[in-house]
Structure 1
Amino acid sequence: MLVASWLDPQADIWAHLRAHLMPLLVRHTLLMVVVVGLGVTVLGVGLAWLSACCEYPGRRWLDPLLVLPLAFPTYVLAFIYLGVLDFSGPLQSTWRGWFGSSPWLLEAMSRPGGVLFILTLAFYPYVYLLARASFISGGLAAFEAGRSLGAGPFQTFLRVALPMARPAVVAGLTLALMETLADFGAVSIYGYETFTTAVYRTWFGMFNLTAAVQLASILMLFILVLLLAERYSRDQRPRQADKRPSGHRIRLRGRQAWLATGSQALVVLVAVLVPLVQLLAWAWPNLGQITGGTMPRVIGNTMLLGLVGAVTVLAGGLLMLVATHKVRRRYLVLGELAALGYAIPGTVLAVAIMLAFIRFDQALGTALAGGLLALVLAYLIRFVRVAWGPLDSVAGRIRPEYVEVARSLGVSRWYRLWRVNLPLLWPGLVTAFLLALVEVAKELPATLMLRPFGWETLAVRIYDLTVEGQWQMAALPSLVLVILGAIPVVVLIRRATLVR
């Protein structure tokens, strides 16, 4: 659908876009990739090295908290910090009262470019988690080997430990940048023009779906470049023997120890505690509305859509598992297709699915466009990778002897599936369902653009209120969504054994 849309050029719209919007979109997109990419890499790798290989006061308490930014949707972090750092917000007002003028840093954070700081805070855990796992598996042993050869600590880290972790860092960076390019809520709240906001405005502002699809296809070029770069990095990585973690952490003392503790505590403060406290402060006067007005209906819509979407995504993940398990070639092909689906931004999916459904309705006389089917299909394409990953991981650890014993007893295939396979897959099923449920609940652009008329979810309610600048009214649905988003993060912390 993206390629076919160029058969209808839309010359008038593109004349306007080329003259007034395209240079700004390209400039903002490239700036976003460079700044956020550099930020998540430095922050994620630095925190991962401290967490995996060093010992300092408070490490066991701070390690799990560094993952909690994943529970905050970017649009929630965006409106919190825009309200806190705004010219009339508490920080700038207090500073002006003390010193007479606002500092340039707070003023810059409240402008459109401040969204780059928000995206860095929201997405650094992708790099942190993968780099931390790589450092634990062999980084400390390599560091000790380099030190034994007389190299200094910093030189050993740069020339030995970091290159070994490069594939993991690049994978985490790719995920973070794909999420950055796909973001719609945070950039909309800050007024930072990107391709995702341009797609939305072209469709709902200029009422031109074809031009919106064409803009979406340009955004997909950036996504494909990222995927190709990640694949090249994966193919170029050196083959290494498996290594066990040394278990002897680098014990930091004195100033180094307190710098490590302070840096992690500062990140937790800025990325978790400040947003959470501000949400509670804004939501506290309105807590009674959670059981009154339209809030129960909005929460019910979110849960219903989340359950339907999560069950559909889980079923798609199971089908992919059956089709790919122990079949290498299909595994690679379907795996790449699933990864591409997760990489497609919600705005791109929305316009492509809507255009396809409109043509389908015109050909068959149906009325599928604008219904829940289009929205659930978008969730399936976008998040099937989220469900397939945990299922495939658990299936790879199941010993084939269990299934062979059941087959030798003469039981049917469906009985084996019900009594043997599914119980063994249960941990992966729970994790996949929770991850899919929360991803569906937090998804904003596809829900906003494909939802049936009058269908409101927590994400849509938050977006509508924040666009109007009603931060305090948006705090209550945001708090509910953050609590929901914390569930899979807690599961991730427990299953990944982040505290060791």
Structure 2
Amino acid sequence: MGRTLAQAGLPLFAAALALPVIALVVAALAWDAASASVLREMAATVLPGYVWTSIWLCLGVAVAVGLVGSVTAVAVTLFDFPGRRTAEWLLLLPLAMPAYVVAYAYTDFLQFSGPLQTTLREAFGWQGRLFPEIRNPWGAAWVFTFTLYPYVYLLARTALAERAPQLLEAARLLGAPLGRRVREVALPLARPAIAAGIALALMETLADYGVVSYFGVQTFTAGIYKAWLVMDDRTAAAQLALMLLATVALLLWAERRAQRRLRFSAPRAQRQGADAQPARLTGRQVVLAWAVCGLPVVFGFVLPVAFMLRPLVQGWDELPWHAFVGWARNSLLLAGGSALLATGAALALAHAVRRAPSALNRWTVRVVGLGYAVPGAVVVVGLLLPVGWAQARWPDSSVSYWVTATVLGIVWAYLVRFTAVALQSVQSGYSRIPASWDDAAATLGVAGAALWWRVHWPLLRRSTLAALLLVFVDVMKELPATLVLRPFNSDTLAVVAHQLARDERLGEAALPALALVAVGLIPVVLLSRALRRGEAAAC
């Protein structure tokens, strides 16, 4: 009986997580004259701006993250120079920075009344604005470039480390110079990985709300919130959300296709020979290598942290510590509870597929695994649409209250987005447990719950802890869904940082912003250690 309930419950859980997408599709199918009129009005007014701004922003980010990520990956993988190992993990640090925190930091330092322009005017007697306004699409592209390039760097670095050394050595023996070996051997090998990393960076760019809202950049995400919260037009918000979802689905398809192409080359050797080691750099080459690896870290981590520390230290005695405790408590409770629920669901799903790899279970896992690609703005609209339908159908019901005035709605949104993160980590742990061990345990009379507790769980502890930490950090940094669905008087660190920065109170925003950065360092440290262990095992 319990197994039957579990088998029925998992598809229902997947359906609940897929509800935002289902609601948007239903809204699109329920086409009428009013919907057509709204779409025509948007096409004549705001839609072209959303489309072109999103396109130009994505093009700028794609070129920049592709260039920065691939060049840094080549530098630390194919060349050897003093401090290379340090550069490998330093290049991961921008992963800890929420993009909107970087936007606040640069704005505070570079704006007209900021310390840089003020100091220059006082020192040289200059007048007026000395630097262009950073709050524009180009400023947003700068922020996204130096916070998202690690996606390309990580995938390209892995691809080059696994496939390039032996082929580069063969090209060297054939007389190809170093530059040609990099251009014609290494980069073509890494091209699918670079494409996959760019696709991931563009999904994050399109899903962002904090940067584009603060910079006044009119992308699809900003348009969705404006249509819903300012214009109170659910139909327009649903149509924009569906367009954004279709674009993200296209990018996800491109990323999956690029990931499949990563298998085109021969498997890596079990151990690199002495002749396939990275080329050693000397003299000016070392300085150039450190410039290539150091500038992205400086622009994406060091400078933003320094810019936020300045107002924090200057206003230390006036910081709202009492309120900060409440914001941190709300963030910790939401993040901790959501992480436990998401990881528990991931363990149940992964175990179900392990024990009964039926088509239904595999479909359930596939549906849940797509959740991370759904932008927060789409999740919000997709959850609130059915709430509005239910409230219109049953005016006396309390559906709206439970979703918008309690933690139910916001935790639901977190599970939609981040159960996929936990599932990926847990499935990675299961992949290292041979199926033959289950058969061996069965011959010893260990099955069912005992099999999971006595065999699987001891081997899944590390993966489960990683899943908990990753979901915890993602929930702490999540802004779009939290901004709309949080219960009254339960602000989180992300929401408060955004609101204070929007009100030009950047000094006060520094405290919650830097707290988010400190939390974000946790998965970066774990990732760096995991990469080191993987490289040590390969050698």
**TM-score with structure 2 setting the length:** 0.87
| Contact 2:197-2:255 within 8 A present in 1 as well | no
| SS of corresponding position for 1:3 | helix
- Which residue of 450, 475, 489 maps to 1:440? 475
Offset at 1:369?
2.7
- Which residue of 143, 158, 163 maps to 2:188? 163
| Contact 2:168-2:181 within 8 A present in 1 as well | yes
Equivalent position of 1:349 in the other structure: 379
Code of the residue aligned with 1:118 in structure 2: it is V
Offset at 1:268?
1.6
- Which residue of 462, 467, 477 maps to 2:502? 467
The alignment status of 1:430 with 2:452, answered yes or no, reads no
Code of the residue aligned with 2:278 in structure 1: it is R
Task: Please show how residues 19-34 of structure 1 align to structure 2 within 5 Å.
Answer: 19-34=44-59
Offset at 1:209?
2.0
| Contact 2:159-2:262 within 8 A present in 1 as well | no
Task: Please show how residues 148-297 of structure 1 align to structure 2 within 5 Å.
Answer: 148-234=173-259, 239-244=264-269, 245-246=272-273, 248-287=277-316, 292-297=321-326
| SS of corresponding position for 1:57 | coil
1:78-109 Cα shifts (integer Å, max 9, x gaps): 010111121222233344444847898x4154
Q: In structure 2, how many angstroms separate the alpha carbons of the residues matched to 1:263 and 1:491?
A: 24
| SS of corresponding position for 1:92 | helix
1:53-92 Cα shifts (integer Å, max 9, x gaps): 2111222222211101111111100010111121222233
Q: Do the aligned partners of residues 447 and 43 (structure 1) sit closer, same or farther apart at CA in structure 2, a change above 3 Å counting?
A: same
Q: In structure 2, how many angstroms separate the alpha carbons of the residues matched to 1:249 and 1:116?
A: 33
Task: Please show how residues 377-456 of structure 1 align to structure 2 within 5 Å.
Answer: 377-456=412-491
Q: Do the aligned partners of residues 239 and 58 (structure 1) sit closer, same or farther apart at CA in structure 2, a change above 3 Å counting?
A: closer
Q: In structure 2, how many angstroms separate the alpha carbons of the residues matched to 1:91 and 1:339?
A: 45
Equivalent position of 2:351 in the other structure: 322
Equivalent position of 1:128 in the other structure: 153
1:83-137 Cα shifts (integer Å, max 9, x gaps): 1121222233344444847898x41545442111000111000111111111111
Task: Please show how residues 34-73 of structure 1 align to structure 2 within 5 Å.
Answer: 34-73=59-98
Code of the residue aligned with 1:382 in structure 2: it is R
| Contact 2:208-2:221 within 8 A present in 1 as well | yes
Code of the residue aligned with 2:26 in structure 1: it is A
The alignment status of 1:5 with 2:27, answered yes or no, reads yes
1:424-471 Cα shifts (integer Å, max 9, x gaps): 101100101000001011100011111122221011101111111111
Q: In structure 1, how many angstroms separate the alpha carbons of the residues matched to 2:414 and 2:505?
A: 29
Q: In structure 2, how many angstroms separate the alpha carbons of the residues matched to 1:243 and 1:195?
A: 42
Offset at 1:15?
4.8
| Contact 2:81-2:286 within 8 A present in 1 as well | yes
Code of the residue aligned with 1:312 in structure 2: it is L
Q: In structure 2, how many angstroms separate the alpha carbons of the residues matched to 1:34 and 1:448?
A: 28
Q: Do the aligned partners of residues 254 and 431 (structure 1) sit closer, same or farther apart at CA in structure 2, a change above 3 Å counting?
A: same
Give the RMSD, CA atoms, in angstroms.
2.4
Code of the residue aligned with 1:450 in structure 2: it is L
Q: In structure 2, how many angstroms separate the alpha carbons of the residues matched to 1:234 and 1:402?
A: 30
1:4-62 Cα shifts (integer Å, max 9, x gaps): 32425345644543233111111111011111011111100110111112111222222
| Contact 1:321-1:391 within 8 A present in 2 as well | yes
Q: Do the aligned partners of residues 397 and 236 (structure 1) sit closer, same or farther apart at CA in structure 2, a change above 3 Å counting?
A: closer
Equivalent position of 2:162 in the other structure: 137
Q: Do the aligned partners of residues 428 and 146 (structure 1) sit closer, same or farther apart at CA in structure 2, a change above 3 Å counting?
A: same
- Which residue of 287, 291, 302 maps to 2:331? 302
Offset at 1:292?
3.6
- Range with bigger deviation, 219-228 or 187-196: 219-228
Q: In structure 2, how many angstroms separate the alpha carbons of the residues matched to 1:319 and 1:136?
A: 34
Offset at 1:405?
3.6
| SS of corresponding position for 1:82 | helix
| Contact 2:245-2:374 within 8 A present in 1 as well | yes
Q: Do the aligned partners of residues 350 and 260 (structure 1) sit closer, same or farther apart at CA in structure 2, a change above 3 Å counting?
A: same
- Which residue of 140, 147, 159 maps to 1:115? 140
1:200-238 Cα shifts (integer Å, max 9, x gaps): 111110112222111111111211221232344445566
| SS of corresponding position for 1:469 | coil
| Contact 2:38-2:235 within 8 A present in 1 as well | no
Offset at 1:360?
3.5
Code of the residue aligned with 1:397 in structure 2: it is R
Q: In structure 2, how many angstroms separate the alpha carbons of the residues matched to 1:328 and 1:233?
A: 27
Q: Do the aligned partners of residues 424 and 451 (structure 1) sit closer, same or farther apart at CA in structure 2, a change above 3 Å counting?
A: same
| SS of corresponding position for 2:415 | helix
Task: Please show how residues 333-348 of structure 1 align to structure 2 within 5 Å.
Answer: 333-334=363-364, 336-348=366-378
| Contact 1:86-1:110 within 8 A present in 2 as well | no
Offset at 1:284?
2.3
Structure 1 residue runs without a partner (length 5+): none
| SS of corresponding position for 1:133 | helix
| SS of corresponding position for 2:398 | coil
Code of the residue aligned with 1:19 in structure 2: it is A
Q: Do the aligned partners of residues 303 and 27 (structure 1) sit closer, same or farther apart at CA in structure 2, a change above 3 Å counting?
A: same
Q: Do the aligned partners of residues 453 and 416 (structure 1) sit closer, same or farther apart at CA in structure 2, a change above 3 Å counting?
A: same
Aligned residues: 499
| SS of corresponding position for 1:2 | helix
| Contact 1:302-1:458 within 8 A present in 2 as well | yes
Q: In structure 2, how many angstroms separate the alpha carbons of the residues matched to 1:19 and 1:291?
A: 46
- Range with bigger deviation, 296-305 or 157-166: 157-166
Q: Do the aligned partners of residues 487 and 232 (structure 1) sit closer, same or farther apart at CA in structure 2, a change above 3 Å counting?
A: closer
Q: Do the aligned partners of residues 135 and 236 (structure 1) sit closer, same or farther apart at CA in structure 2, a change above 3 Å counting?
A: closer
Equivalent position of 2:7 in the other structure: none
| Contact 1:324-1:334 within 8 A present in 2 as well | no
Code of the residue aligned with 2:520 in structure 1: it is G
- Range with bigger deviation, 70-79 or 325-334: 325-334
| Contact 2:159-2:190 within 8 A present in 1 as well | yes
| Contact 1:71-1:485 within 8 A present in 2 as well | yes
Offset at 1:329?
5.7
| SS of corresponding position for 2:24 | coil
| SS of corresponding position for 1:388 | helix
Counting aligned pairs with the same residue, the percent is 36
